[in-house]
Amino acid sequence: MNIVVTGGTGFVGQRLTDQLVKEGHHVYILTRSPDKHTDSGQVTFVGWLKDEYHPARELPNVQAIVNLAGESLNSGRWTEEKKREILDSRIQATEGVLDLIEQLDSKPEVLVNASAVGFYGQSKTKTFTEETEKPGNDFLANVVEEWEKRASKAENSGVRTVFVRFGIILGEEGALPKMILPYKFMIGGNLGSGEQWMSWIHIDDVVGLIDFSIHQKEIRGPLNGTAPNPHRNKDFGRTLGDVLNRPHWIPAPAFALKIALGDMSTLLLDGQSVIPKKALEQGYSFHYPDLKPALESILHE
């Protein structure tokens, strides 16, 4: 297959590209700076989102598009400007994908659009599946709702569209290195009350679910990209400390995190219990359904 990937130079994008190439697909990575990258046998970099680039003219018939582009939630304090960048980067990339689809003579079969469990808002008591249709009412929920609403327009072109709502992605990059830092200094512990849910997923299953979504034609709409066993923060932290052979004992007070991080503290202090009901029903087999083996695979490599 010929598969287009946006955000292909990021952590998830690189891992996904490696997997798709192993499977024999040709990956076309859309980037604003194609000159900074070197093509290989099965990977081609194509310019986009600038007036001088016309990706529709350079691409062959494309069977799938994976849209991973968007400003990181973890990079810097959430000022009002940062919030605008978080939303605008996702909307701009998604609109760019929709424009590309419109210009292609032969439409792709599927668009897999990255999304987030932030859609559901926060709760310490509820459990969410894809059957939960009402979004939360906070900043992240509003971002995700708008993001998915834009991506869903691909259906108007006859393109099957999947929104993979990812939880906390565990891997060598991303959130995990920041999470383990206090444990390295022997000061790991609960974040706030420790009662907030953490819906997590191993990077191998991130790649696996995207790949699964491309090929499983029955899947469309929301797909929860989380492991089937979420944990409360206090239990996640104890497991992490156990894997690192470090104590889990010094809590980080919620007020201190709010002072240090501002609105961004919601990523640490709030959460939701999210179950990947649709993936399980469609027969996806998780590489890492349980937390401890997932952490060990990353931290003991």
Retrieve residue 55's tokens: 């990706």
Interval 247-291: pLDDT, tens? 999 999 999 989 888 888 998 999 999 999 999 999 999 999 999
Residue 74: predicted pLDDT: 79
Which 3-state string (H, E, C) describes 96-128? HHHHHHHHCCCCCCEEEEEEEHHHHCCCCCCEE
DSSP string for residues in 23-34: TT-EEEEEES-G
Residue 234: predicted pLDDT: 97
* Rounded distance between C-alpha atoms, residue 295 and residue 233, angstroms: 15
Residue type present at position 62: V
Contact 148, 207 (CB under 8 A): no
Q: What is the pTM of this model?
A: 0.96
List, in order of start, the domains of the chain with CATH numbers: 2-299 (3.40.50.720)
Residue position matching structure tokens 């609109």: 95
Q: Which helix (H) or strand (E) segment is 132 a member of?
A: none
b/e 57-90 (16+ beta carbons within 10 angstroms → b):
eebeebbbbbbbbbbebeeeebeeebbebbbeeb
Retrieve residue 76's tokens: 């810097």
Q: Which helix (H) or strand (E) segment is 217 a member of?
A: none
Q: What's the farthest any 2 CA atoms get from each other in the chain?
A: 59
Residue 77: predicted pLDDT: 85
DSSP state of 156: G
In order along the chain (301 residues), what is the average pLDDT of each group of 10 residues? 96 97 98 94 95 95 97 85 93 96 96 97 96 95 96 97 97 92 94 97 98 97 98 97 96 90 89 98 98 97 69
